[in-house]
Structure 1
Amino acid sequence: MKVIIDLHAAKASQNGDEHSGARDGFLEWADSNIDETVAVIEFLAARYGVRPNLAAIALMNEPRAPGVTLDALTKYYKAAYDAIRKYTNAYVILSARLGPADPKELFSLASTMNRVAIDVHYYNLFSDSFSGMTVQQNIDFVNNQRASDLGSLTSANGPLVLVGEWTAEFARNDASMEDYQRFAKAQLDVYGRATFGWAYWAYNCDRNHWSLKWMIENNFIQL
């Protein structure tokens, strides 16, 4: 088994969400937090870098634009990458910014690094644009838009691409088992093209369609 270590919550919060440690909804991570955040990454690299099952270290989960600027994020990613390379040649994962930002904005930085992957998260949720979609429209969106987005990030000489989060849940309260199966299969087919692979939201959690274990055991997903 290979392990990816992910810094999910940076001090001052990189996105304002509770999963980044924010209790008040404020995003306050900025240049002044870079050194402290790099120190955390260096601690993790020093502790786990020699482990043969370490696949990668992900530098920050879901930084949100425009609160986290590209300039600050680039400075942090470069410094954290350099810190990791003191201890290990494991892959380094650069998370794309949420919000009004293009994952390709990281290409220039990634071109100066070795063994890196860009992490994108794909959900047919968390946006009004999905609320009125039929089951088939959700599936078509994956087969067309998501496939196009993923293809635009994939190049022979560019960084690898990780679909680091996805789920078979979508904004349909009336979806049948077959609907979930079709939606999950479409995502597996498309995200299976990601050059660094994919990761379901969680292996085991209390929300059934977010739990890969439950989805497999109940024949919603076949791997």
Structure 2
Amino acid sequence: MTALDARDIHRYRKQRGVNLGSWFVLEKWITPKPFVNTQGSSDLDVAKSANAKQILEAHWDNWITPDDWVWLRDRGINAVRVPIGYYHLAGPYPEILKGTDFNGLGPVFEGAWTRITRAIATAGGYGMGVLIDLHSAVGKQNGDAHSGAPGPIRFYEKRNMDQTLNALKFLAQALDIIPNVIGLQLINEPQNNPALPSFYSHALDTLRKLAPDLPLYIHDAWNTDQYAELVSRRKDFVVLDHHLYRCFTSEDQNQSGDDHARNLRGGTLGHFKGISNKIAGNLVVAEYSAALNQRSLRSGDAGEQDRQRRVFTAAQLDLYNETCGGSFFWCYKKQEGWDAGWDLRNASLAEIMPSFYGIRKTSQGIHNDAGRREDEKRRATNDHVNWWNKYPGHYEHWRFELGFQQGWDDAFVFFNFRDSSASVSEIGFRGQLARRRSSEHIREKGESNVWEYGESI
């Protein structure tokens, strides 16, 4: 069996994360200051405005500070999602802008990639993994300004899909070797389209050849069942991303925070369990928030409003902890004003979000008690053998023992992983790690009755 290294720990562990929103892909409602010279709302509008290069570089250099990294680390957050656009690759890959909305704007963005790679390294120094999210694809994959440009959706034109794939190929090759990169998200919140499944499948196959071990994340285009089916047909490390918000539709607004919490613990939990089981646990919620519409808050009292948000977010966190490999709050902070729904720092001050995520590390670590492991293995194996003795057949129960021991030992490797994070690393993508271990077991021991190994690991 191959030993787990730092890259494995980062990629397979439970991701307790936050989005560093509006750092590279700007959103005016989060950071209005870079839009000082334009009435527009997209990166393209800023890039075409006066002094764009200076404005953007100053923002990139100052939006996330050392104090921010310390704040995140001290609360047990072990992952950040960083939204970027294809145009942020213009420095090392100037051809990526040819024929796109950003053609000719290379000088404005030539310094972005260096800062993105620096951000990844800085996050690693604080014990955090980084999910790089191609938030803005060539031609716009959705109708929102955060897809990079104003205007209609043109992503599904073949040349734009091809150019987006070129950007993803660059990213996959650049990121695969970086130990604390936990994955690459192909595109963010695409409009569902008959061409999307084939784009996803082709892109996944292409990128997998370039980066055999890099987790690849796809958004469900607001149709979780459809894209869970796509992910379920793959055995490589592909993760399905769903974004959960409960503040935009009239149906959402007609329910209180208490109502939403009950639904999350009921029907939504059942649906998530079904999806997670279908795709071996490779499910994340890469965007969620504490935001509720004013109608849902049902009160003008600030204390009652915070209580509604508190029960709503508690139900979310329980849901994600039980069914997902990770979750990422949207977003870390806003530039102006108080917003306990969307600003994690504000939500934390209001005690809507937890003061710490996961299990706090201790200086001693966690001792792997070999005697206890053997006792637990013996008990589990006896239960396994006694059950299958009811059904005569050819079994190899020694495989069950090997799987149990491997799973136990892997868990302790995660628990005792020593990096700069404040929280204990826990296995998050258990099904995917079990697939990897089962494949290794087959190579070493053959595939007869391998199900017994898989049942215990």
User: Normalized against structure 1, the TM-score is what?
Assistant: 0.87
* Equivalent residue runs for 1:55-66 within 5 Å: 55-65=182-192
1:15 corresponds to 2:137: no
Superposed CA deviations along residues 20-69 of structure 1, whole A, max 9, x for unmatched, are 12413x2222151221111010111122221001111111111122xx22
- Residues 37 and 105 from structure 1, CA distance in 2 versus in 1: closer, same or farther, beyond 3 angstroms? same
Counterparts in 2 of 1:76 and 1:203: CA distance versus 1, 3 Å = same
Q: Counterpart of 2:305?
A: 176
- Counterpart residue type for residue 96 of structure 1: D
RMSD: 2.0
CA–CA distance in structure 2, aligned partners of residues 113 and 23 of structure 1: 38
Separation of aligned partners in 2, 1:157 and 1:221? 29
- Choose between structure 1 and 2 for higher RCO, CA contacts under 8 A separated by at least 6 residues: 2
State, as a whole percentage, how many aligned pairs show the same letter.
25
* Residue 180 (structure 1) shift: 1.7
**Structure 1 pair 129–156 and aligned structure 2 pair: CA distance change class (3 A):** closer
Residue 82 of structure 1 is matched in structure 2 by 205
* Corresponding pairs, count: 215
Report the alpha carbon displacement of residue 156 of structure 1 after superposing the two structures with TM.
6.3
Paired letter, 2:342:
W
Q: Deviations over 1:78-111 (max 9, x none)?
A: 232233321351211111013xxx3222244322
1:176 Cα deviation (Å)? Answer: 2.2
Report the equivalent of 1:155. 277
Specify the SS of the correspondent of 1:192. Answer: helix
Name which of 297, 308, 322 aligns with 1:193: 322
Task: Give yes or no for contact 1:38–1:79 (8 Å, CA) kept in 2.
Answer: no
Report if the CA contact (8 A) 1:46-1:87 is conserved: yes
CA-to-partner distance for each residue in 1:122-173, whole Å, 9 max, x for gaps?
1102211112222322222222232122122111663610011111111135
Q: Which residue in 1 is equivalent to 2:353?
A: 221
How far apart, CA to CA, are the structure 2 residues paired with 1:197 and 1:176?
Answer: 27
Distance 1:107 1:138, change over 3 A: closer
Change (3 A) 1:84 1:109: same
Q: Which amino acid letter does the alignment assign opposite residue 218 of structure 2?
A: L
Question: Given residue 28 of structure 1, which amino acid in structure 2 is its aligned partner?
Answer: R
More helix per residue: 1 or 2?
Answer: 2
Aligned to 2:224: 103
Q: In 2 relative to 1, CA 88–202 (structure 1 residues): closer, same or farther, beyond 3 Å?
A: farther
In 2, Cα distance between equivalents of 1:198 and 1:204: 17
Residues 215 and 239, structure 2, Cα contact 8 Å, conserved in 1: yes
Where do 5+ consecutive residues of structure 1 fail to align? none
Give TM-score scaled by structure 2 length: 0.44
Residue pair 1:117, 1:161 contacting (<8 A) in 2 also: yes
Say whether 1:41 aligns with 2:168. Answer: yes
Match of 1:212 among 344, 367, 377: 344
Contact 2:291–2:342 (Cα < 8 Å) also in 1: yes
